[in-house]
């Protein structure tokens, strides 16, 4: 197939003249304040850098807050780093880098201890030891959690307080990052952002760290918050950064499914405690699919749930907690409270669940320090691809990765900023595009829903080539229409970012003519003989990202080549 895709995306979304907007200057600028961004900011500040943290919503919001599971770390004598690493490699289906896996797994206890030192309160046994649970893919109980299913909220609380208290960190919440700003040599030197009043500001920085989270809002069914629109991936692409393995999107198998309700994630720790998946007739189907039954890797469980829904012609399957030891209301208070609102008693009533887009495994390609292919630009967390997860993320490894890689990126970005030269935005200026006469007006909300529905149908749990090719044509058509509009609002910026990421994800999925991990194609149901990564390399020309060239990179040959 053709390995080049004509993207036709503008390098910058809006006009910019540094003389007409207020400017702030910092050593390190971090976009995002979750587990990855917050950790990076703290480490950079501790290393002596002046740091700004921009968040799209409030500082306490973001993907980390919604983490219902926990943090995987080897702290039990019966466990080992080798076991955790091997579990991660097995779930990664041949695409995880063993060196990266060992690095992240080995740093888990330190990352956990730093959170405890910040004041994060995790669940403990009566003897004071941290409580440990088991999730799918893990061979040992090694998941640390808070209030059963509220781990993300507790981690975010501790990080947010530390960010607000640090004297070298300044936070700017409710600031939408519109564009990464580059100098004539392509180095990222800052960000153009807008606050909730629509006022625009330029942030100059010697080093910029993207920690913008995921892109779950590309899908109609998702566990992600409204903020997760792939902004970091789209901004990084427009700045020329290489993207890796975008086709790998993980679907969580158990999202609460009630018409009109938000798709609340039912954490994997519920299944780890013994909850069973049954169909509408009460049949427990997971033992037929995998020896680990409900604790099989997430891709296996998601496909089994999807197939059972089709076979039984039902809109969901059902999670049964009646056989759990103890009181499930006390063990899982968040799930209990939400289900009770809809009249479901989790101790005796089945919970309707179905898969939902949960985690974008692919992202901006980075090295083991968090550097992208573009000078001055770093990426951590869900918007980055470190080669830890491979083709399928193991539960609770994402918080671990965010903390470990946030720590590394923050320290190395601070060092680069302190040793580097001051950034300047004075040479940057983008003239307004020629005004276009619009014949029709687009309904952005309707177009957004159509995009999300299309991605759910054609780029969901099960995929097939012809349908994805049709979807790519439709996405391209929509993108051209939106790009001709005056992009003057956060809703328009989000939509163009979503369309950009959706197009690239679909293009990458079409190019991977195999089934591996979370990427399952009915027309190519078997894995290829040799594993490979997909990398999308932007080609910038005449003020646009003219094309992205796709290259297939053999496993263990993914050393990042910087410009």
Determine the Cα–Cα distance for residues 463 and 226; give it in Å rounded to an integer.
Answer: 25
Q: Crossing angle for the helix pair 108-118 and 397-419, nearest 10 degrees?
A: 80
Q: What are phi and psi of 273, to 5 degrees?
A: -85, -5
Query: β-pairing, 51-54 with 169-172?
Result: parallel
Where in 257-393 does DSSP place strands (E)?
Answer: 276-278, 317-320, 351-360, 363-365, 377-379, 384-385
Alpha-carbon radius of gyration of the chain: 22
Burial code (b: 16+ CB inside 10 Å, e: under 16) for 325-355 equals eeebbebbebbbebbeeeebebeebbbbbbb
User: Which single residue is written with the structure tokens 């479901």?
Assistant: 344
Position 478 scores a pLDDT of 95
Determine the Cα–Cα distance for residues 413 and 416; give it in Å rounded to an integer.
Answer: 5
**Cβ-contact 458, 471 below 8 angstroms:** yes
**How far, in Å, are 56, 255, 535 from residue 225 at the CA level?**
12, 13, 27
DSSP-based three-state secondary structure for 516: strand
Phi-psi region of 179 (alpha: psi -120 to 50; beta: other; left: phi over 0): beta
Determine the Cα–Cα distance for residues 505 and 501; give it in Å rounded to an integer.
Answer: 6
Q: Which residues contact 272 (CB under 8 A, 6 or more apart)?
A: 133, 134, 135, 136, 143, 295
pTM above 0.85, yes or no: yes
**DSSP letter, residue 295:** G
Position 563 scores a pLDDT of 52
Continuous segment of H or E residues that includes residue 207: strand 200-210
Q: Which residues contact 198 (CB under 8 A, 6 or more apart)?
A: none
Sketch out the chain's domains with CATH numbers. 27-248+361-419 (3.50.50.60), 250-357 (3.90.700.10)
**Cβ-contact 244, 364 below 8 angstroms:** yes
Where in 55-199 does DSSP place strands (E)?
Answer: 71-72, 132-133, 143-144, 169-172, 175-182, 188-195
Determine the Cα–Cα distance for residues 498 and 448; give it in Å rounded to an integer.
Answer: 9
**Which residues are known catalytic residues?**
298
The two structure tokens encoding residue 128: 């004071």
The neighbouring-strand residues paired with 537 are 549
**Cβ-contact 21, 14 below 8 angstroms:** no
**Cβ-contact 72, 143 below 8 angstroms:** yes
CA 306 remoteness from chain centre: 22
The two structure tokens encoding residue 156: 């975010």
**Cβ-contact 209, 409 below 8 angstroms:** yes
**Cβ-contact 539, 545 below 8 angstroms:** yes
**Cβ-contact 239, 354 below 8 angstroms:** no
Positions of the chain with pLDDT lower than 70, given as ranges: 1-2, 66-69, 149, 260-263, 429-440, 557-563
Alpha-helical segments (H) within 459-516 = 465-483, 490-511
* Torsion on CA atoms 360, 366, 368, 374, rounded to nearest 10: -160
The two structure tokens encoding residue 305: 């749930």
Residue-wise pLDDT for 143-175, tens only, equals 999 887 678 889 999 999 999 999 999 999 999
Task: For the chain, give the mean pLDDT.
Answer: 92
Q: What are phi and psi of 267, to 5 degrees?
A: -55, 150
């Amino acid at each position: 197939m053709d390995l080049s895709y004509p993207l036709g995306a503008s390098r910058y979304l809006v006009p910019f003249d540094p003389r007409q907007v207020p400017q702030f200057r910092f050593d390190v600028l971090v976009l995002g304040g979750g587990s990855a961004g917050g950790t990076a900011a703290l480490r950079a500040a501790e290393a002596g850098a002046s740091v700004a943290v921009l968040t799209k919503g409030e500082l306490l919001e973001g993907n980390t807050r919604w983490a219902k599971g926990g943090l995987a770390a080897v702290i039990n004598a019966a466990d080992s780093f080798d076991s955790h690493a091997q579990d991660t490699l097995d779930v990664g289906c041949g695409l995880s880098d063993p060196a990266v896996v060992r690095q992240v797994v080995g740093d888990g206890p330190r990352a956990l201890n730093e959170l405890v030192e910040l004041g994060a309160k995790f669940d403990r046994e009566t003897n004071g030891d941290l409580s440990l649970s088991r999730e799918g893919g893990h061979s040992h109980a090694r998941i640390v959690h808070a209030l059963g299913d509220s781990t993300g909220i507790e981690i975010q609380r501790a990080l947010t307080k530390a960010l607000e208290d640090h004297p070298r960190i300044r936070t700017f919440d409710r600031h939408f990052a519109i564009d990464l700003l580059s100098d004539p040599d392509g180095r990222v030197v800052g960000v153009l952002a807008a606050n909730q009043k629509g006022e625009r500001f330029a942030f100059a920085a010697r080093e910029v760290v993207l920690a913008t989270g995921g892109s779950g809002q590309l899908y109609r069914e998702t566990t992600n918050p409204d903020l997760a629109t792939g902004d970091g991936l789209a901004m990084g692409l427009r700045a020329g950064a290489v993207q890796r393995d975008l086709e790998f999107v993980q679907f969580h198998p158990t999202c609460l499914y009630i018409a009109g309700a938000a798709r609340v994630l039912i954490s994997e720790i519920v299944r780890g405690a013994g909850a069973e998946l049954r169909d509408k007739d009460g049949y427990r189907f997971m033992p037929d699919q995998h020896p680990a039954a409900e604790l099989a890797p997430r891709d296996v469980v998601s496909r089994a749930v999807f197939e059972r829904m089709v076979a039984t012609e039902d809109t969901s399957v059902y999670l049964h907690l009646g056989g759990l030891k103890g009181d499930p209301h006390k063990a899982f208070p968040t799930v209990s409270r939400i289900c009770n609102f809809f009249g479901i008693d989790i101790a005796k009533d089945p919970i309707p669940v179905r898969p939902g887009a949960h985690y974008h495994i692919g992202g901006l390609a980075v090295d083991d320090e968090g550097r992208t292919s573009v000078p001055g630009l770093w990426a951590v967390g869900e918007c980055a691809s470190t080669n830890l997860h491979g083709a399928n993320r193991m539960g609770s490894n994402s918080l671990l990765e965010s903390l470990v890689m946030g720590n590394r990126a923050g320290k190395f970005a601070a060092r680069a900023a302190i040793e580097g030269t001051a950034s300047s935005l004075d040479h940057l200026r983008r003239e307004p595009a020629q005004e276009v006469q619009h014949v029709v007006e687009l309904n952005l909300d309707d177009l957004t829903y159509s995009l999300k529905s299309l991605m759910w149908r054609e780029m969901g749990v099960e995929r097939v080539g012809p349908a994805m090719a049709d979807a790519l044509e439709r996405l391209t058509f929509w993108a051209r229409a939106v790009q001709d509009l005056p992009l003057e609002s956060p809703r328009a910026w989000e939509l163009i970012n979503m369309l950009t990421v959706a197009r690239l994800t679909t293009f990458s999925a079409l190019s991977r003519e195999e089934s591996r991990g979370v990427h399952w194609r009915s027309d190519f149901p078997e894995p290829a003989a040799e594993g490979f990564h997909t990398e999308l390399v932007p080609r910038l020309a005449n003020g646009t990202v003219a094309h992205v060239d796709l290259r297939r990179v053999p496993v263990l040959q993914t050393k990042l080549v910087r410009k």
